């Protein structure tokens, strides 16, 4: 599912009040980080990932997250990445987004 500009804008608006759930530091983007992102996004649909100051390759991490199937990068602001994945079992955000 590709997101159009109205859907991305809606998701950025919804993510504004969220706190980052996953933080990536000097260890980088390993298996534990991937598991944390997948676990968090499966139940919430929309999360923020924060890249800490000692994180070296922001663009590389952004590319790796973008390459996952079904997971969409909604946007980035500074060191925050907003990520979305539709929950087919218990949709919350995606129900509202379908109306756009």
Number of domains in the chain: 1
Give Cα 78 to chain centroid, integer Å: 14
Q: Enter the tokens of residue 14.
A: 């919804």
Tally of helices (H runs) and strands (E runs) in the chain:
4, 4
What pLDDT band is residue 94 in, cutting at 50, 70 and 90? confident
- List the domain range (segments joined by +) for residue 45: 5-97
- Asked whether residue 43 carries a pLDDT value surpassing 90, the answer given is no
The CATH number that applies at residue 49 is: 3.30.110.60
pTM for the complete prediction? Answer: 0.87
Position 81 scores a pLDDT of: 94
């Amino acid at each position: 599912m590709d997101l159009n500009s109205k859907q991305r804008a809606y998701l950025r608006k919804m993510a504004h009040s969220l706190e980052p759930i996953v933080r990536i530091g000097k260890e980088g983007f390993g298996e534990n980080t991937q598991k944390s992102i997948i676990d968090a996004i499966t139940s919430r649909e929309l999360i923020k990932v924060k890249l800490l100051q000692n994180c070296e390759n922001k663009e590389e991490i952004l590319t790796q997250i973008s390459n996952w199937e079904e997971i969409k990068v909604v946007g980035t602001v500074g060191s925050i990445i907003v990520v979305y994945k539709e929950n087919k079992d218990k949709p919350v955000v995606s129900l509202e987004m379908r109306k756009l």
